[in-house]
A = this chain, B = another copy of it.
Amino acid sequence: MNARSETLIETATRLSDAVTQPFPASRKCYLTGSRPDIRVPMRTIQQTPTQTQHGNEENPPIDVYDTSGPYTDPQITIDLLCGLPTVRSEWINERGDTELLTALTSDFGQQRHADPELAHLRFAHLRTPRRAKVNQCVTQMYYARQGIITPEMEYVAIRENVNLEYIRADPRYQKLLRQHPGEAFGAALPEYITPEFVRAEVARGRAIIPANINHPELEPMIIGRNFRVKINTNIGNSALGSSIAEEVEKMVWSARWGGDTLMDLSTGKHIHETREWILRNAPVPIGTVPIYQALEKVDGKPEELTWAIMRDTLIEQAEQGVDYFTIHAGVLLRYIPLTADRLTGIVSRGGSILAKWCLAHHQENFLYTHFDEMCDIMRAYDVAFSLGDGLRPGSIADSNDAAQFAELTTLGELTQRAWARDVQVMIEGPGHVPLQRIQENMTKELTDCHEAPFYTLGPLITDIAPAYDHITSGIGAANIGWYGTAMLCYVTPKEHLGLPDKQDVRDGIITYRIAAHAADLAKGLPGAQVRDNALSKARFEFRWDDQFNLSLDPERAREYHDQTLPHGAHRVAHFCSMCGPQFCSMKITQDVRDYAAAHQLTDDKTALAQAMQDKAAEFIQSGGELYRPV
């Protein structure tokens, strides 16, 4: 081990405190399923009591969905060199339909494994990969169609509910459960998610559980229109980019702030080794675009790509544990000319690689012609398809055009071919779309792709705000999520401009958590409003710390508050910096209630409302002159 490797490993094993410290007032807890090894994480946020004239009133703890993995569990010692605990190993093993291989199957994997030059970069505790036994299918869709409820399915059912059944039964939550009816555009969100519901949704392809048998560290999650809207984040070094250690830290950072899945879009050197480090330490599903790596193997020359190279890459990555592959199999030769008149041509990297290949060879896209073989690989590891929209619009002008929608119909055809082989599928979507054209995207996707989950990038609703494209796209994302998109791929402020740093990633993720949650509220996801209600109650009662702790980004909320009112004492004071100590609307409203209660009325609010309505009616009858100032 030379000096360079020591440095690398050292960095990699020491995550910064910023990515691992527990959230304030929060406790990591686990709900156990029907077997003791189904332990579903969530985060419980404690609240302080409300101070009233009659003493303290308790505010119950609020449970929230938790993507952060073991990193925020103080009980678990993190050792990046060993990777995370393998929560799914036993489930996979006991199904008895897989075998441990004696070696890596892919040529490239073997070559990297044997290369002594890479020893200093390589993850130390490589496991032997696992694969379906001959003629077996090991996908969650296959099991679902057999009527089998896997531990993964039960896990996600528990996870989606976030303790809702207990909350409903606990009278302390009664008022917090108040929620507006949703408008779900045909989605059918059940009041309570059962494992059987999960199974049925996966069986009919309306949801996927990306969970490669070689990624047993994964905490299962589900992507589908009848579940919580999810968000994906992207990381990846580039030729100008960052190191392995930085990428692992970014992955943990992404999971911390709420990334449900993560795509490793690395294009630089050591792409294989980086991926291994990430997977072994990733509690979230990892997606890739295998054609990026395949292209590196042919020195960046698209026309030299072959099915053999792609096939080897798919197997290489499947055996590392990648959970879903973006595959641009819908970029057909006959669709390419449809982009010639576009303002911004083909902006998808995958799409342009394949377009160039097709033109160079005057042949049909080899991912299309070899699609069934890809299915056969992916069903042996349970890698899900994320069918890429290689012809997605790169500008408002190009939205919803013939090229985009032609590809979408092909993605629908491919969906059915994948489903025929029990391979899970989601469909990627745009891109850049103005507000009034977003719904058409969703409607067409549902129709053309048979309700396979939609997974969209934004969309950006205008092109004129580089440096703010987390916002331009977050607006589109909230809308398309509301209309039915299952997962939203985040965009950072650096989109179109540069590589995001950690703060950009955080801004992108929180923006997308907002969009996803707004969509959940709008669809009427049961229980979605509890956190809003709890936070608003805390705000109204000047429980500043509770307001911060319940928010999506407690650290920044506190920091912004303290910039104006830096004294600790103010944080418990009954006023805020917008109005100053003498003049605050919330304070006045409380005074209104207190005044009304003290002078004439009970403080039972319903009775108060009734009494005041009576009084108002009297007032109106009297012509407005009944009550005089004392």
Cβ–Cβ < 8 Å partners of A524 in chain B: 436
A163 contacts chain B at the CB level, 8 A cutoff: no
A493 contacts chain B at the CB level, 8 A cutoff: yes
Cβ–Cβ < 8 Å partners of A294 in chain B: none
Closest B residue, CB atoms, query A474:
B471
For the complex, would chain A's binding face be called helix, strand, loop or mixed by DSSP majority? helix
Q: Are A361 and B627 in contact, CB atoms less than 8 angstroms apart?
A: yes
A79 CB, nearest partner CB in chain B, Å: 32
Q: Complex formed: what's the CA distance from A241 to B341 in Å?
A: 55
A336 contacts chain B at the CB level, 8 A cutoff: yes
Chain A residues 299 to 321 lying within 8 A of chain B, measured CB to CB, are: 300, 302
Q: Complex formed: what's the CA distance from A565 to B537 in Å?
A: 46
With A518-B435, A585-B347 already in contact, the answer to whether A511 and B471 are too (CB < 8 A) is yes
A341 CB, nearest partner CB in chain B, Å: 5
Closest B residue, CB atoms, query A399:
B180
A520 CB, nearest partner CB in chain B, Å: 9
Cβ–Cβ < 8 Å partners of A628 in chain B: 361-363
Cβ–Cβ < 8 Å partners of A178 in chain B: 343, 397
A437 CB, nearest partner CB in chain B, Å: 6
Cβ–Cβ < 8 Å partners of A346 in chain B: 585, 588-589, 592
The 5 closest A-B pairs by CB, nearest first: A362-B627, A337-B612, A239-B580, A498-B564, A334-B616
Cβ–Cβ < 8 Å partners of A540 in chain B: 343-345, 347, 394-395
With most chain B CB atoms within 10 A of its CB, the pick from A533, A536, A593 is A536
* Apart from A334-B617, A396-B521: 10 A-B pairs, beta carbons within 8 A: A300-B582, A343-B540, A347-B540, A349-B579, A361-B627, A395-B539, A397-B532, A432-B536, A436-B523, A498-B565
Q: Are B465 and A552 in contact, CB atoms less than 8 angstroms apart?
A: yes
Give this chain's copy count.
2
Q: Are A468 and B564 in contact, CB atoms less than 8 angstroms apart?
A: no
With most chain B CB atoms within 10 A of its CB, the pick from A178, A548, A586 is A586
Which one of A4-12, A46-54, A350-358 is at the B interface?
A350-358
Cβ–Cβ < 8 Å partners of A585 in chain B: 346-349, 351-353
With A548-B466, A557-B497 already in contact, the answer to whether A461 and B629 are too (CB < 8 A) is no
Q: Which of B435, B437, B586 contacts A345 (CB 8 A)?
A: B586
Chain A residues 525 to 540 lying within 8 A of chain B, measured CB to CB, are: 529, 531-533, 535-537, 539-540
Q: Which of B463, B501, B514, B559 contacts A475 (CB 8 A)?
A: B514
Q: Complex formed: what's the CA distance from A576 to B605 in Å?
A: 60
Chain A residues 40 to 80 lying within 8 A of chain B, measured CB to CB, are: none
Q: Are A436 and B182 in contact, CB atoms less than 8 angstroms apart?
A: yes
Q: Complex formed: what's the CA distance from A353 to B588 in Å?
A: 7
Cβ–Cβ < 8 Å partners of A399 in chain B: 180
Sample of 20 A–B contacts (CB below 8 Å)? A180-B400, A239-B582, A267-B579, A302-B588, A341-B605, A346-B592, A347-B540, A347-B586, A348-B585, A352-B586, A353-B588, A355-B588, A369-B624, A395-B539, A461-B518, A466-B557, A471-B514, A498-B561, A498-B563, A499-B578
A494 contacts chain B at the CB level, 8 A cutoff: yes
A344 CB, nearest partner CB in chain B, Å: 4
A240 contacts chain B at the CB level, 8 A cutoff: yes
Closest B residue, CB atoms, query A184:
B436
Cβ–Cβ < 8 Å partners of A337 in chain B: 608-613, 615-616
A619 contacts chain B at the CB level, 8 A cutoff: yes
Cβ–Cβ < 8 Å partners of A180 in chain B: 396, 399-400, 434, 436-437
A291 CB, nearest partner CB in chain B, Å: 11
Q: Which of A's residues lie within 8 Å of B, judged by CB?
A: 175, 178, 180-183, 238-241, 267-268, 295, 300, 302, 333-341, 343-349, 351-353, 355-356, 359-364, 369, 394-397, 399-400, 432, 434-437, 461-468, 470-472, 474-475, 478-479, 482, 493-494, 496-499, 501, 510-511, 513-515, 517-519, 521-524, 529, 531-533, 535-537, 539-540, 547-548, 550-553, 556-557, 559-561, 563-565, 576-586, 588-593, 595-596, 605-606, 608-613, 615-617, 619-620, 624, 626-629
A81 CB, nearest partner CB in chain B, Å: 30
Q: Are A463 and B609 in contact, CB atoms less than 8 angstroms apart?
A: no
Closest B residue, CB atoms, query A577:
B498
Cβ–Cβ < 8 Å partners of A336 in chain B: 592, 612, 616
Q: Complex formed: what's the CA distance from A355 to B586 in Å?
A: 12
A53 CB, nearest partner CB in chain B, Å: 16
A59 CB, nearest partner CB in chain B, Å: 13
Q: Are A533 and B397 in contact, CB atoms less than 8 angstroms apart?
A: yes
Q: Complex formed: what's the CA distance from A523 to B333 in Å?
A: 35
Cβ–Cβ < 8 Å partners of A436 in chain B: 180-183, 482, 521-524
Q: Are B464 and A531 in contact, CB atoms less than 8 angstroms apart?
A: yes
Cβ–Cβ < 8 Å partners of A624 in chain B: 363-364, 369
Q: Are A592 and B355 in contact, CB atoms less than 8 angstroms apart?
A: yes
Q: Are B589 and A345 in contact, CB atoms less than 8 angstroms apart?
A: yes
Q: Which of B360, B467, B499 contacts A557 (CB 8 A)?
A: B467
Q: Complex formed: what's the CA distance from A544 to B180 in Å?
A: 46
Q: Complex formed: what's the CA distance from A519 to B498 in Å?
A: 28
Cβ–Cβ < 8 Å partners of A339 in chain B: 589
Cβ–Cβ < 8 Å partners of A497 in chain B: 557, 560-561, 564, 576-577
Cβ–Cβ < 8 Å partners of A615 in chain B: 337, 362
With A369-B624, A532-B462, A557-B497 already in contact, the answer to whether A475 and B472 are too (CB < 8 A) is no
Q: Complex formed: what's the CA distance from A501 to B513 in Å?
A: 25
